[in-house]
Chain A
């Protein structure tokens, strides 16, 4: 390569395209090596260092979703790591400004798609706080919310382990994780009708009560889940290869966590037992006995142990909640807010139950009016702003809700834990090896739907 062959182009770059062919114009230096001139290749001039920037692009089997990792490497060591996000930005927050508060649940639920109940719960808690009806939510609805949230925590951690294992090459972890997850998804389908993205938790309560055999099915599944989780744990805990890949990888101590605003398993892996279910309980969490699982190794292995421990604690909470369940309504008594429809499966498919139709068509004019107004217009929420936060499987999930006094939110902003936790990639990975980047990102467990919203 002689200097004559170095060509600087200033063509407008439609594509800073790494895949552009040799004839395409692109910015930057173009080295035309003709061959046969190896003896004239000289060492790079002084002061000019070659930077190798590797792009683990948005489509990659091992980055947790559509995450772009831009790594500057020197040999196998990562000197700089940056995240490129935004590949799943859906404009959910803006879209919710054009939908009523109940319709907003269906948007909120699709943000962090592995923990849909948490998104719904934080949004509904915010709406209820703005309405001022937090005390009027029926007890049964609150307990059902806790049951669904804790089952969701189990399924979310299972996916975290499954995909983390797959990314590191432990494919059996993936099959185990998804097999166990099917047990939980069957319960979701039994109770809410959908496996994922169920718009079940609504402002005022939950959409529908448990079916007749719901409680029994959950009780039967719990011991089965326990034994299967033990299998998964035995596969990976004290597994020398797994420990070799995850011990001392993705190190982030308490100072780093507090500076970066990290919450969730990453913060608890430093030994600090910060859990919003204990410090600022919501939905009656102060009535349940469970431990906050911590580890003191500050690394990916500790986070993995925490996730396994949290799944066991979630099973404990579900058992206690099932014992506390009493018959009662599942929607708020105030008819101006309560979602009116009662769905059931009829001969022609799913629709409003015949009892409900009889009530609104022949028995009660008010019920008809409420049904009509609530579904078309929605309820009005007094003006103000509120911030609610809950402990989702990934950390503190917050909802900042501003209402202008109308039927649609003025502004909804979700503080997603993965968005904040992903900022720690640089701190965790710089100075490590490329393979450790994968393990570190897997231990952060970001869900890109929540990151980009």
Chain B
């Protein structure tokens, strides 16, 4: 991806979907096939505009053991007084993996249901991963939790979104203590603040580093390379194929 740090906001209408959740997760707009801007691109590919979107949400039946897990989850949420329809925003089954998109304020309840219910028993959390989708308005930051059930030998994904204006997500350390450092790393590199984390500080970057490096609007930060009289710009500023 070769956007310059001050990339213009794409003026492309995003499909409007009820409930404020975009069905087609348009998260990136690709303009032009090459990264060069301002140079004479006579190929005609410069006017190309493409919407990239993630796989659409799936409807029941999901197939395999996914239905069992989804049923168990809904039952356990109801038993705990949480409404499954509002907690689970959507379910995506893609490439043999199931992802549950959970409303962020109900995250801790859902995770403790996933960990404790005998039919679910997802004891092992593989950590939190952050993803930044700057083109997905009000759902820019995603935090992705991968859970493994050793008892039932299954893997699921739990995904939570937060808008850029309010990048707060409740911390899951009370349910899975292993997410401690993972949440610190996600905070360090993306700026997602995990409310309730015991000590949310930078872990990989120096403590006084400004900015959050793995956001899409943070430049790669390389320097031009000089070699024998020629200069090559850093990878994010080169003329190369747009992702």
Contacts and interface: CB of A to CB of B under 8 A. Distances in A.
Q: Are A and B close enough to touch in the complex, i.e. CB under 8 Å? A: yes
Nearest to A422: B181
B95 A129 contact: yes
Contacts of A415: 126-127, 129, 146
A98 interface: yes
B42 to A, nearest CB: 19
B54 A383 contact: yes
A385 B54 contact: yes
Interface stretch (B62-70, B149-157, B160-168): B149-157
Given A258-B124, A261-B176, A396-B126, A408 B97 contact: no
A260 B178 contact: yes
A263 B30 CA distance: 40
B220 A419 contact: no
A383 B28 CA distance: 11
A400 B150 contact: no
Chain B interface main SS type: mixed
Interface stretch (B81-89, B103-111, B235-243): B235-243
Given A91-B213, A400-B144, A406-B52, A274 B150 contact: yes
A169 to B, nearest CB: 30
A86 B204 contact: yes
A438 B2 CA distance: 45
A89 interface: yes
A404 B205 contact: no
Contacts of A89: 204-205
Contacts of B179: 261
Interface in B181-213: 181-182, 185, 202-206, 213
A410 B94 CA distance: 17
A291 interface: no
A141 B30 CA distance: 35
Given A377-B241, A410-B243, A95 B127 contact: no
B53 A93 contact: no
Interface range, A side: 35 or more
A384 B157 CA distance: 13
B21 to A, nearest CB: 17
Interface in A75-134: 85-86, 89, 91, 93-95, 97-99, 129-130, 132
A296 B1 CA distance: 49
A442 B217 CA distance: 39
B125 interface: yes
A14 to B, nearest CB: 11
A279 B178 contact: no
A407 B241 contact: yes
B177 interface: yes
B95 A411 contact: no
Interface string B31-55: 0000000000000000000001111
Nearest to B188: A86
Contacts of A263: 124
Contacts of A93: 214
Contacts of A402: 131
Nearest to B35: A98
A417 to B, nearest CB: 10
A203 interface: no
B204 A452 contact: yes
Nearest to B235: A98
A398 B213 CA distance: 22
Greatest chain B CB density within 10 A among A132, A259, A383, A452 is at A383
Contacts of B28: 404, 410
Contact of A261 (B125, B157, B213): B125
B161 to A, nearest CB: 13
A387 interface: yes
Contact of A405 (B52, B157, B202, B221): B52
Contact of B181 (A259, A262, A406, A419): A419
Nearest to A409: B243
Complex A-B, nearest 6 residue pairs according to Cβ-Cβ distance, in ascending order? A261-B178, A406-B243, A413-B129, A408-B243, A86-B204, A89-B204
Given A385-B144, A406-B242, 8 more contacts: A95-B220, A98-B235, A378-B241, A383-B52, A387-B146, A400-B146, A407-B243, A420-B127
Interface of A: 85-86, 89, 91, 93-95, 97-99, 129-130, 132, 258-263, 274, 279-280, 376-378, 383-387, 389, 396, 398, 400, 402, 404-408, 410-411, 413, 415, 419-420, 422-423, 452-453
Interface of B: 1-2, 27-28, 30, 52-55, 94-97, 99, 123-127, 129-132, 144, 146, 148, 150, 153, 155, 157, 176-182, 185, 202-206, 213-214, 220-221, 235-236, 241-243
18 contacts: A85-B203, A91-B221, A95-B220, A130-B95, A259-B177, A261-B126, A261-B178, A383-B54, A383-B55, A384-B54, A396-B126, A398-B146, A400-B146, A404-B28, A406-B1, A411-B131, A419-B181, A422-B181
